[in-house]
Amino acid sequence: MSTKLFINPSALEAGVEAAFEARSEPSEAQAAAFQRFAKLRLPHRRIEGWKWSDFNAALRNFTPINEDPGAIAISPTDFSALNPIEFRIVDGRIQLPEEEMPDGMRYGVIDPVATITELETHGIATLNVAITRKALGIEILEDAAPERPILIRHINSAAGFSFAQTMMRVSSNAKAKLIETYEGEGAGFYSHLFHMVVRDGATFNRTVLHETGTENIVHSICAAKIDEAARFEQTSLSTGSRLSRHETILHFWSPGSTAKINSAALLGGACHNDFTTHVLHKERGCETRQLHKGVATDRGRNVFQGKFEVERAAQKTDAKMTANALLLSDMAEANHKPELEIYADDVECAHGSTSGALDKDALFYLRQRGLSEKQARTLLIEAFVGAVIDEVEDDGVRNVLRAKTLDWLEAV
Amino acid sequence: MLNIDNLHVTLGGNNILRGLSLAVKPGEVHAIMGPNGSGKSTLSYTIAGRDGYEATDGAVTLDGESILDLDPNERAAKGLFLSFQHPMEIPGVQTMNFIRTALNAQRKARGEDEISAADFIKLIREKAKLVGLDDAKLKRPFNVGFSGGEKKRMEMLQMAMFEPHFAIMDETDSGLDIDALKMVGEVVNALRGPSRGFLIITHYQRLLEYIKPDHVHVLAGGRIVKSGGPGLAAELEKSGYEQFVEAA
């Protein structure tokens, strides 16, 4: 089978082409992006960086059913105790908060991004740019520090494909807390492209919780530009799904900024999760700390790819990356790829990666003290993941992530 | 109380214990001394139920009940406590939380009520003082960054908290200074009573100056080769183990 643009297209490719052609007037930028996508196509395992998360294979036999699911019941968020300003993107459709706009910020539905230079060779991001019609725009005004967190709930209940974009700016010396949840029991493909800027002196804190049904295929990418003396903090927790990949791309454009990018994955059944990050240090004196903890049981698959790139001008960069995997069954897998690419000579950069089973000595010790095998395992796994979760400063967020970890441990 | 009869144990295909017999009556303290490699730790791990220590023959009973088929936690719930020779560091596991979970797991298994948070904190503070551990240490991840002596104090803290029915102390004295040895003696002597038994495994006589054993045994080549009263320990200190190694 072939279409106008694709030879032997996947069902998704055929579907997006039909959807694209049905549009009345795509912008020139979108038409160009679609042409680029037709050349790039969906990423597959022969492309470096995608060998462990083959979206082409996963979507090859995926038949999108793009029926309007109508109004779906949406339960209150797990983060309701934090009184968040709640945005929803339900099967790709943006819903703004049903309340007056709080002080210190503005938001709305805006035109999507025309292009993101560093993502022009990224198949899924390019497709997202080509297809997405409207974006969620959020701006935190200068010096503002809204007390309430912003919550974006990505809810995917359908079996089709949907694309969404968010553009966010944290203005100079502002502070913002963002929580993103990926939810829903759907069996479709969802792509979210998040483009953000953290201005001089600003602090941005992002929490990502991926806890969808097991059938969803999800790709998210956050591309952030960090200005001078700014701070970017991110904690992600994923229980995976049929295939999920959350990418983070940070560019330090100016000196003296810091980033913390921590992640944890809890993968049972046949769930697959991929945390891929790329931190580009372009200017001097920036600091990055990254910690990943992945737990896999049954046929769970934990993918971690972290890359620190340090350009020649980025002297005095201080960057450390650690990835640890815990494998609880013979069929569970961990695929780690830590990478350093350094062109400056006066830097401190390090990475470490381990994988292994639960410590038998520790298990016996705990059991000798009276803990059942399940209790002992739970305590040790909780402690393993706790290294990421305990780093979360906000009590409310930390409590939710801890409760999610315990729920998962209870169920496996 | 604890009866070991003709116990044979293999570890990784090697015969370590070869017909060990020992009977500890309620209220008694027995010391087991012996050279390196004689099977002392194998004995303690086998009684506690560690994976890999396979009893190929013989029996171990506690209060007349065979324990060899019980899980380690079931043995713990019956009041069996092992003070480890090399206590674990367990990063991420908060000390108080762990000890409370363990205490409640034991109580629950015995059909007793769980201890309240307030009672627990009061009790652990009291016992921490007894073993010479700062409160601050109780808030740290379990044993992480502790010195060898502090880890042994943490073992004694747990023994004092759990008030076990039968305790095995596997080289608790190794790496301890005089003050810490005295503390171990105080903890054991305070727990000594008509229904409780102790098995103290050691290389040296030193600890036995603080804890007077009722019986002393020499373990060599996987079996008890000599038994006697407290005087045997002092005798061994002079003569060494060589005669027993040759005899075994």
The rounded mean pLDDT for chain B is 92
Q: Does B105 touch chain A (CB under 8 A)?
A: yes
- Interface with B, mutate which of A363, A367, A377 (most B CBs under 10 A): A367
Length of chain B: 248
The partner residue sitting opposite A371, judged by closest CB among B81, B87, B101, is: B101
Pairing verdict, β A258-267 and A287-296: parallel
Q: Is residue A26 in some structural domain?
A: no
pLDDT digits (tens, 9 = 90+) for B157-211: 999 999 999 999 999 998 888 888 999 999 999 999 999 999 999 888 888 889 9
Residue B98 is encoded by which pair of tokens? Answer: 């762990």
Q: Does B185 touch chain A (CB under 8 A)?
A: no
pLDDT digits (tens, 9 = 90+) for B27-41: 999 999 988 888 999
Show the domain range for A88. Answer: 71-358
Whether residues A364 and A242 share a domain: the answer is no
Residue A291 Cα, gap to closest chain B Cα (Å) = 15
Whether residues A271 and A404 share a domain: the answer is no
- Sign of the alpha-carbon dihedral angle for A26, A27, A28, A34: negative
Percent of chain B at pLDDT exceeding 70? 98
* Cα A207 to Cα A406: distance, rounded to the nearest angstrom: 18
Nearest-CA neighbor of A302 among A383, A346, A239, A221? A239
- For each of chain A's 412 residues, which pLDDT tens digit applies? 566 788 888 888 888 898 888 887 889 999 999 999 999 999 999 999 999 999 999 988 787 776 766 778 899 999 999 999 999 999 999 999 999 999 999 999 999 988 888 899 999 999 999 999 999 999 999 999 999 999 999 999 888 899 999 999 999 999 999 999 999 999 999 999 999 999 999 999 999 999 999 999 999 999 999 999 999 999 999 999 999 999 999 999 999 999 999 999 999 999 999 999 999 999 999 999 999 999 999 999 999 999 999 999 999 999 999 999 999 999 999 999 999 999 999 999 999 999 999 999 999 999 999 999 999 999 999 999 999 999 999 999 999 999 999 999 999 8
Q: Determine the residue of chain B that is closest to A366 in CA distance.
A: B102
A253 touches A281 (CB < 8 A): no
CA atoms within 13 A on the CB side of B181: 16
- Interface with B, mutate which of A324, A360, A369 (most B CBs under 10 A): A369
Q: Determine the residue of chain B that is closest to A361 in CA distance.
A: B88
Q: Which pLDDT does position A37 carry in this prediction?
A: 95
User: In Å, what is the CA distance from A200 to each residue of A175, A176, A251, A303, A407?
Assistant: 11, 13, 13, 33, 39
- Domain of B116, CATH number, reads 3.40.50.300
Q: Is residue A318 in some structural domain?
A: yes
Q: Is the ipTM of this complex over 0.85?
A: yes
Whether residues A111 and A127 share a domain: the answer is yes
- Set of chain B residues whose Cβ sits within 8 Å of the Cβ of A364: 48, 50-51, 72
Whether residues A202 and A314 share a domain: the answer is yes
Residue A325 Cα, gap to closest chain B Cα (Å) = 15
* Cα A311 to Cα A15: distance, rounded to the nearest angstrom: 41
pTM, two decimal places? 0.92
Pairing verdict, β B223-228 and B215-220: antiparallel
Q: Do B98 and A369 touch (CB under 8 A)?
A: yes
Whether residues A350 and A398 share a domain: the answer is no
Q: Does B101 touch chain A (CB under 8 A)?
A: yes
Q: Is residue A154 in some structural domain?
A: yes
Residue B47 is encoded by which pair of tokens? Answer: 């009684």
Q: Is residue A310 in some structural domain?
A: yes
A142 touches A166 (CB < 8 A): no
Whether residues A316 and A384 share a domain: the answer is no
Q: Determine the residue of chain B that is closest to A391 in CA distance.
A: B92
Facing residues of A405 across strands?
Answer: none
Show the domain range for B39. Answer: 2-247
Residue A361 Cα, gap to closest chain B Cα (Å) = 7
* Cα A367 to Cα B77: distance, rounded to the nearest angstrom: 10
* Cα B233 to Cα B201: distance, rounded to the nearest angstrom: 12
Please check the confidence at residue B50 and state whether its pLDDT lies above 80.
Answer: yes
Nearest-CA neighbor of B193 among B28, B23, B60? B28
Q: Do B105 and A371 touch (CB under 8 A)?
A: yes
* Cα A95 to Cα B67: distance, rounded to the nearest angstrom: 63
Q: Which pLDDT does position B245 carry in this prediction?
A: 67
Residue A303 is encoded by which pair of tokens? Answer: 């993918």
* Cα B137 to Cα B76: distance, rounded to the nearest angstrom: 24
Residue A378 Cα, gap to closest chain B Cα (Å) = 11
Structural domain count of chain B? 1
Q: Is residue A1 in some structural domain?
A: no
Q: Do B73 and A367 touch (CB under 8 A)?
A: yes
Q: How many CB pairs under 8 A join A and B?
A: 76
Q: Do A364 and B50 touch (CB under 8 A)?
A: yes
Facing residues of A106 across strands?
Answer: A139
Whether residues A161 and A302 share a domain: the answer is yes
| C-alpha radius of gyration, chain B, whole number | 18
Whether residues A245 and A374 share a domain: the answer is no
Whether residues A364 and A265 share a domain: the answer is no
Q: Which run of H or E residues covers position A399?
A: helix A395-411
- Set of chain B residues whose Cβ sits within 8 Å of the Cβ of A368: 48-49, 72-73, 75-76, 81-82, 84
Domain boundary among A333, A358, A383: A358
Q: Do A370 and B102 touch (CB under 8 A)?
A: yes
Can you tell me which residue has the tokens 């990666």? A353
Residue B93 Cα, gap to closest chain A Cα (Å) = 6
Residue A119 is encoded by which pair of tokens? Answer: 């993502």
| C-alpha radius of gyration, chain A, whole number | 21
Whether residues A335 and A382 share a domain: the answer is no
- Interface with A, mutate which of B11, B44, B46, B50 (most A CBs under 10 A): B50
Please check the confidence at residue B248 and state whether its pLDDT lies above 60.
Answer: no
Residue B247's identity, in one-letter code, is: A
The partner residue sitting opposite A369, judged by closest CB among B49, B50, B76, is: B76
Residue B248 Cα, gap to closest chain A Cα (Å) = 30
Please report which confidence band the pLDDT of residue B241 belongs to, taking 50, 70 and 90 as the band edges: confident
Residue B92 Cα, gap to closest chain A Cα (Å) = 4
Residue A281 is encoded by which pair of tokens? Answer: 């240090």
> Which strand ranges, in their side-by-side order, compose the sheet holding B65-66?
B14-24, B2-11, B53-62, B65-66
Residue A168 is encoded by which pair of tokens? Answer: 């966010």
Facing residues of A302 across strands?
Answer: A273, A334
Domain boundary among A358, A376, A396: A358
Q: Is residue A10 in some structural domain?
A: no
Structural domain count of chain A? 2
Q: Which pLDDT does position A2 carry in this prediction?
A: 62
Whether residues A213 and A330 share a domain: the answer is yes
Helices of type H across A26-132 = 28-40, 55-60, 123-131
Q: Does B141 touch chain A (CB under 8 A)?
A: yes
Q: Is residue A7 in some structural domain?
A: no
- Calculate mean pLDDT across residues B92-106: 94
Q: Does B195 touch chain A (CB under 8 A)?
A: no
Please check the confidence at residue B7 and state whether its pLDDT lies above 60.
Answer: yes
Please check the confidence at residue B77 and state whether its pLDDT lies above 90.
Answer: yes
Q: Which pLDDT does position A7 carry in this prediction?
A: 85
Please check the confidence at residue B246 and state whether its pLDDT lies above 70.
Answer: no
Domain boundary among A319, A338, A358: A358
Q: Do B93 and A372 touch (CB under 8 A)?
A: no
Q: Is residue A54 in some structural domain?
A: no
